[in-house]
Amino acid sequence: MDRFRIQGGTPLRGTVRTSGAKNAALPCLAASLLTDEPVILRNLPSVRDIRTTCGLLKSLGVEIAEDEQSWAWPSTSARQLKIHAAKISTVEVPWEQVRTMRASTLILGPLVARCGEARVSLPGGCAIGARPIDLHIKGLEKLGAEITTEHGMVIARSKRLRGGRIYFDRITVTGTEDLLMAATLAEGETILDNAAREPEVEDLANLLIKMGAKITGAGTSTIRVEGVERLRGAEHTIIPDRIEAGTFLAAAGITGGDITVEDCQPDHLTAVIEKFRAAGMTITAPTATSLRASLPGFGAGPLRAADMTTAEHPGFPTDMQAQYMALATQAEGISVVTENIFENRFMHAPELVRMGADIRVDGNRAVVRGRTPLSGAGITASDLRASASLVMAGLAAQGETILERVYHIDRGYERIEEKLNSLGARITREPSE
């Protein structure tokens, strides 16, 4: 198990490139199950969850050809995989697989649509919440699947799914993606109401349309799908990771630096950009695919307090909440951070307090009183985005921070220490004692 040793206090300056979006790559990998022809995906991030999903697909009998060259670091060509689900040897996704990565539930919809059956272990909760999949299951039932659960497995069966109208009584990203994939091969029309509008949903729909699916409305709250008999292979480039890009913008603010993030899509980050500007940061878009963030006077600071509430896209993303909280500790005044998506997503707060922050958590609200100087300490990561928040705090702190369990951050960030060190950070990765 690795840990990071972080020397703080240096303003980060320079240019960094965003990798492909993990949360777009995962459903796109699952979509390859919908056809017996090869699917080529480019700009895949070299992160643990992608490797985990490839292992899962291979366990189902899917062939995956890796272009070894493109996975070398730093890669010159976009990382690409050729995924060929010519034959599927089993429809079972075991517990140990889902336990490692709950997004394995994205296999449920495509598998039952392609094979008429899927047996996927119910995901346990995780650090940030119970993470049920009741809406995935209800949606599949609306498409005519017969669902049973036994020994912790969800078993979905259907000779052929038939179109239906699905209303999500809670907006769910992977729920929308799971059912969007299932609906592409269902007989007749499916309408997904109150669907998730995240850019990653739209990216998945763009791949499915290239595969021959008939989809309109992706990226809006109502998605219509006209089922087809079969889908064909396709080639697709994954969108940039907006959360990674937002994390680097936050790093510029918290260290009083000046960072240009390239290979990003500014229109995916509107709420984040507006909030960072409200906090006093200067953010510009030098080109259509880059953003530049700094404090006024290049580090003159300080940031200003600004309340923030997470919401489904296009609102402020929950996956940026922890990073914003770290930033708010360096802002003058009181920032109230409200988390509306997950029930337990403040685990970074006590670690930030140990570094000197003044944060009071009360239910789904955290009151951050800034500006408090941060000092390096031994801290522990609990989940993917909390880890990113703690790395940023370490970069802003005086002295040395040891961050344990960085495997959490490796799930969703590609060699984050190398990218940050290229901006002047001083982070070393080392085995934990």
By CB under 6 A, the residues from 203 to 232 that bind ligand EPZ are none
Residue 84's beta-bridge partner residues?
Answer: 38, 63
Residue 226's beta-bridge partner residues?
Answer: 189, 214
| Residue 184 in the binding site for ligand EPZ (CB under 6 A) | no
The 43-72 site mask, x for binding ligand EPZ (CB under 6 A), equals: ------------------------------
Burial bucket for residue 179 (CB in 10 Å: 0-12, 13-18, 19+) = buried
| Residue 412 in the binding site for ligand EPZ (CB under 6 A) | yes
Burial bucket for residue 289 (CB in 10 Å: 0-12, 13-18, 19+) = middle
Shortest approach of ligand EPZ to residue 12 CB, angstroms? 22
How big is the chain by its Cα radius of gyration, in Å? 22
| Identity at 418, one-letter amino acid code | E
- Give the interface segment with ligand EPZ, choosing from 4-12, 169-177, 265-273, 357-365 (CB under 6 A): 169-177
The one catalytic residue in 28, 54, 115, 126 is 126
Shortest approach of ligand EPZ to residue 302 CB, angstroms? 28
Give the C-alpha separation, 11 to 382, whole Å: 26
Q: Which residue has the tokens 């580090």?
A: 299
Other beta carbons within 10 angstroms of residue 26's beta carbon come to 24
| Residue 129 in the binding site for ligand EPZ (CB under 6 A) | yes
Residue 214's beta-bridge partner residues?
Answer: 226
Is the four-CA dihedral 373, 257, 427, 410 of positive or negative sign? positive
Per the CB < 8 A criterion, the answer to whether 237 and 42 are in contact is: yes
List of residues 6+ apart from 20 with CB closer than 8 A: 42, 43, 44, 45, 78, 79, 237, 238, 239, 240, 241
Q: How many CA atoms lie within 13 Å of 112's alpha carbon, on the beta-carbon side?
A: 33
The 279-318 site mask, x for binding ligand EPZ (CB under 6 A), equals: ---------------------------------------x
Is the four-CA dihedral 34, 206, 78, 273 of positive or negative sign? negative
| Residue 136 in the binding site for ligand EPZ (CB under 6 A) | yes
Per the CB < 8 A criterion, the answer to whether 183 and 204 are in contact is: no
Task: For ligand EPZ, give the closer residue by CB, 177 or 258.
Answer: 177
- Give the interface segment with ligand EPZ, choosing from 28-36, 124-132, 140-148, 216-224 (CB under 6 A): 124-132
Task: For ligand EPZ, give the closer residue by CB, 175 or 370.
Answer: 175
| Residue 23 in the binding site for ligand EPZ (CB under 6 A) | yes
Shortest approach of ligand EPZ to residue 242 CB, angstroms? 11
Q: For ligand EPZ, which residue of 174, 184, 330, 387 counts as binding (CB under 6 A)?
A: 174
Question: Residue 126 catalytic?
Answer: yes
Shortest approach of ligand EPZ to residue 135 CB, angstroms? 3
| Residue 134 in the binding site for ligand EPZ (CB under 6 A) | yes
| Residue 131 in the binding site for ligand EPZ (CB under 6 A) | yes
| Residue 112 in the binding site for ligand EPZ (CB under 6 A) | no
Shortest approach of ligand EPZ to residue 287 CB, angstroms? 26
**Packing angle of the helix pair 384-396, 242-255 (nearest 10 deg):** 20
Q: For ligand EPZ, which residue of 62, 120, 341, 425 counts as binding (CB under 6 A)?
A: 341
Q: For ligand EPZ, which residue of 4, 342, 346, 413 counts as binding (CB under 6 A)?
A: 342
Shortest approach of ligand EPZ to residue 382 CB, angstroms? 12
| Residue 265 in the binding site for ligand EPZ (CB under 6 A) | no
Give the C-alpha separation, 369 to 361, whole Å: 12
Size of the site for ligand EPZ (CB under 6 A): 22
| Residue 173 in the binding site for ligand EPZ (CB under 6 A) | yes
| Residue 135 in the binding site for ligand EPZ (CB under 6 A) | yes
List of residues 6+ apart from 218 with CB closer than 8 A: 180, 201, 202, 204, 205, 206
Task: For ligand EPZ, give the closer residue by CB, 135 or 225.
Answer: 135
Tokens representing 85?
């689900």
Residues with a catalytic annotation lie at 126
Residues at the interface with ligand EPZ (CB under 6 A)? 23, 26, 103, 129, 131-136, 170, 172-175, 318-319, 341-342, 384-385, 412
